[in-house]
Amino acid sequence: MTAHAGDDFTLFPESLGTLAPMVMRSRAGAGTRLANGLFAASLADRCSSGDTLELDKRPFDLRAAAPLPPLMRVYLYTMTTHPSERQQGAYRIQIILPNKGRHFDTTDDAYVILAGYNPSLEVFALWDADAHDIGKGIPHSKGVQVLEDTLLEAMSRGVARQTRRLRGTDESETVVASRPDTLPEALELRWQLSIERLIS
């Protein structure tokens, strides 16, 4: 299913709080923007400033405190599962960078968050952006997937992770899935994993 402006607001949990008006006023890609709002709202108490959020943009920046990256640049996409999906129980997001961009924008040393959100399950998935933005970067679009099992586990336990090997390389990435209410933990974990990758 798809979240379009005007219909699926009820799919989003109470957590939007005061962000709701802002989110509802947002424009293109309602589904994504709603997710943006939820994402931000989930981190509200961890952010240095819950205001000045530009949810109308993709990606959008988020400033956080303490255990989280100071500046996060969030690329959030709607995570879907296709009827014709080859792999049963697989969810995926399609990365399409704005304006012919070939790489994630890391200006200002922002930590890039590559995330997906599924409104039906109400779970986020966090990929390792660095692991995907390598070499020539992203062509036109790039799809990454998660197993449904991981998502379900995240739903019940709050946070879950899944490692999968990227073909073409011997590198493996870790996908972190999480419920909105445990997003801070998931992000922290994701960040730690990225750091570990850098020093290896």
Note the residues at the interface with DNA (CB under 7 A). 1-7, 26-32, 58, 77-78, 80, 82-84, 86-87, 90, 94, 96, 98-99, 138-145, 164, 166-168
Rounded to the nearest whole angstrom, what is the least distance from the CB of residue 45 to DNA in the complex? 26
Q: Find tokens 């405190």 and name the residue.
A: 65
Taking the least distance from each CB to DNA, the nearer of 77 and 191 is: 77
Taking the least distance from each CB to DNA, the nearer of 37 and 184 is: 37
Rounded to whole angstroms, how far apart are CA atoms 97 and 59? 9
Taking the least distance from each CB to DNA, the nearer of 8 and 185 is: 8
Which class for 31: exposed (0-12), middle (13-18), buried (19 or more C-beta within 10 A)? buried
Pairing of strands 111-118, 123-128: antiparallel
DSSP-derived secondary structure letter, 109:
G
Rounded to the nearest whole angstrom, what is the least distance from the CB of residue 97 to DNA in the complex? 9
Taking the least distance from each CB to DNA, the nearer of 140 and 157 is: 140
Rounded to the nearest whole angstrom, what is the least distance from the CB of residue 167 to DNA in the complex? 4
Which class for 161: exposed (0-12), middle (13-18), buried (19 or more C-beta within 10 A)? middle
Rounded to the nearest whole angstrom, what is the least distance from the CB of residue 8 to DNA in the complex? 9
